[in-house]
Amino acid sequence: MKLAGKNQAWERHQKHIPTIDEEGGKLWGCFRSCFLQSAAPYTEGIGYKILKNDLGMELREAPGHTSCGAIGYHGDVSNLETQMVVAARNFSVAHHELGVDNLFSFCVTSFANYTEMIKLWEEEPEWREYTEKTLKETTGREFWIPHVSGGRPSVVHASDVFFANREKLAAKAKYSLKGVKAVDHIGCHYGKIFPGECLGGAEFPQVLVGLLEAFGAEIVDYPERRHCCGMGFRQCAFPENRDYTASSVYKKLKSLKEAHPDCHLILTNCPGCTVFLDAEQGTIKEVLEEEFNVSILDYAQLTGLLLGYDPFKDCGLNAKVVPIEPLLDKIGIPYDKSKTAEERRRPF
């Protein structure tokens, strides 16, 4: 597709995220991710540090906040009515107890789930009436809908907040991605369910590319760039289905290797993609004896690295299957080479 066409697609898929220079842009309510906290807690940890320490944000989190329930919803364990009331309760807690108007989630599935509920309330008034009535009857709470993006009913994802403040973050960076080839991998639940809520749309999203470009990376393209990581709640959770996840990762990374054998960095914004694009490389190496050695980092980990946070203690790179040291060497980030790789992965 010609550049003019990409620009047109980009212009059709815009949303506004308050920056720290705008009114209200320093006060956020945040929803944690149940999957991240169980499988990759380092992402939220470094994300918190960057948003609070480097951007000066105040992040408020309610002790009574619950999981969004989307894993159960997509797995046919819970129903739509339950999802709407759970979402409404979390919104009410954030606004009425914490006093926040701007909300983001660390999980793209939560982002998509909350977006779906908001759109249903807007487009089908009977669902809003049901939710408002049930919320009041069951919890005594008042119904409230966030209006984060451009004053319209919406929530945003944490990677949106990083994107909106990317120039501020790049200005504080101690290291650069100049000379490093990289590519984005957008979580399906960020870009494909509601493309209009994805910066740039599903085909040409900019939320991660913009961050990579701000840090100086060279962006590459390859045929399977938008192919799903294959996680799927029904794939990774059941051993008999797990070969689907591994085969999806293999298809993506094989395509990348053939197109750009010197690209060893994929940036993600989805908890599942971050875990499985990395972990299944270990499966592929063991089963097929084929190595790709592509480092899989999410937006917070990469930003933390470039801001000078410790790769292992702060950014959680001790939990990676693919050795991170070659990428650190490429960027010029120091680490203790007197220790063995195993010792570096026990930083606490």
Q: What is the pLDDT of residue 6?
A: 64
Is position 146 within any domain? Answer: yes
Model confidence at 7, pLDDT cuts 50, 70, 90, reads low
Task: Name the phi and psi angles at 129, rounded to 5.
Answer: -60, -45
Model confidence at 171, pLDDT cuts 50, 70, 90, reads very high
**pLDDT score of 98 more than 80:** yes
Among 136, 156, 176, which residue terminates a domain? 156
Q: Domain range for residue 94?
A: 27-156
d(CA 285, CA 294): 12
* DSSP state letters, 234-294: TTTTSGGGHHHHHHHHHHHHHHHHHH-TT--EEEE--HHHHHHHHHHHHHHHHHH------
Quote the radius of gyration of the chain (alpha carbons, Å). Answer: 20
Model confidence at 1, pLDDT cuts 50, 70, 90, reads very low
Q: What is the pLDDT of residue 244?
A: 84
Which CATH number belongs to the domain containing residue 91 in this structure? 1.20.1050.140
**pLDDT score of 277 more than 90:** yes
Is position 11 within any domain? Answer: no
Model confidence at 41, pLDDT cuts 50, 70, 90, reads confident
Element (H, E) at 184: strand 181-185
Check if the beta carbon of residue 245 is closer than 8 Å to that of residue 280.
yes
The pLDDT tens digits of the residues spanning 324-337 come to: 999 999 999 999 99
Q: What is the pLDDT of residue 237?
A: 66
Can you list the positions of beta strands (E) in 61-131? 103-105
Q: What is the pLDDT of residue 240?
A: 74
Q: Which of 41, 114, 106, 47 is nearest to 83 (CA)?
A: 114
Is position 161 within any domain? Answer: no
Do 179 and 150 fall within a single domain? no
Which CATH number belongs to the domain containing residue 228 in this structure? 3.40.50.11810
Among 156, 188, 215, which residue terminates a domain? 156
d(CA 75, CA 180): 39
Do 146 and 200 fall within a single domain? no
Is position 121 within any domain? Answer: yes
pTM of the model: 0.95
Q: How far is CA 51 from the centre of its chain?
A: 14
Is position 281 within any domain? Answer: yes
Please state the rounded mean pLDDT for residues 47-71: 93
The number of folded domains in the chain is 2
Q: What is the pLDDT of residue 347?
A: 62
Among 131, 156, 181, which residue terminates a domain? 156
